[in-house]
Amino acid sequence: MKPDQMTPAEPTDPPRRPLSRAALRRNRIIAVTGLVAVWILLWGTFTWANVIGGLVVATVLLAVFPLPPVTFAGRIHPLPMLRFWLRFLRDLVVASVQIAWMALRPGHTPRSAIIAVRLRVNTDLNLTLTAEALSLVPGSLILEADRSTGTLFVHVIGVNSRDEVERFRRGVLELEARIIAAIGSSDEQRRVREVAHPPPPADLEGVPT
Partner 1 sequence: MTAVAVTVTVLLAVAGGLTLMRIIRGPSILDRAVATDVLLAIIVAAIATEAAYSRDATALPVLVVLAVLGFVGSVSVARFAARRNTK
Partner 2 sequence: MSLDAVLDIAAAVFLVAGALLSLAAGVALLRFPDLLTRMHAAAKPQVLGLLLVLIGCALRLRTGVDITTLVLVGIFQLATAPVAAHMVGRAAYPHDDIRTDLLVTDELAAHLDRIAGARDDEVRA
Q: Candidates 58-66, 74-82, 110-118, 185-193: pick the segment binding partner 2 (CB under 8 A).
A: 110-118
The distance of closest approach from Cβ of residue 117 to partner 2 in the complex, given in angstroms and rounded to an integer, is 9
Contact status, residue 176 vs residue 137, Cβ threshold 8 Å: no
Three-class secondary structure of residue 205 per DSSP: coil
Choose among partner 2, partner 1, none what residue 60 binds, the Cβ cut-off being 5 to 8 Å by kind: none
What gap in Å lies between CA 191 and CA 49, rounded to an integer? 46
Residues contacting residue 197 through CB under 8 Å, at least 6 positions apart: none
Q: Which does 53 bind (CB under 5 to 8 A by kind): partner 1, partner 2, none?
A: none
Alpha carbon of residue 5 to chain centroid: 23
Q: Which does 4 bind (CB under 5 to 8 A by kind): partner 2, partner 1, none?
A: partner 1
Which residue's CB is nearer to partner 1, number 2 or number 17? 2
For the chain, helix (H) and strand (E) counts, in that order, are 6, 3
Binding segment for partner 2 among 68-76, 111-119, 175-183, 190-198 (CB under 8 A)?
111-119
Q: Which residues contact 124 (CB under 8 A, 6 or more apart)?
A: 16, 70, 71, 147
- Return residues touching partner 2 (CB under 8 A): 3, 5-6, 8-9, 11, 38, 40-42, 44-45, 92-93, 96, 99-100, 102-104, 109-116, 131-132, 135-144, 146, 151, 153, 155, 157, 159-162, 164-165, 201, 204-205
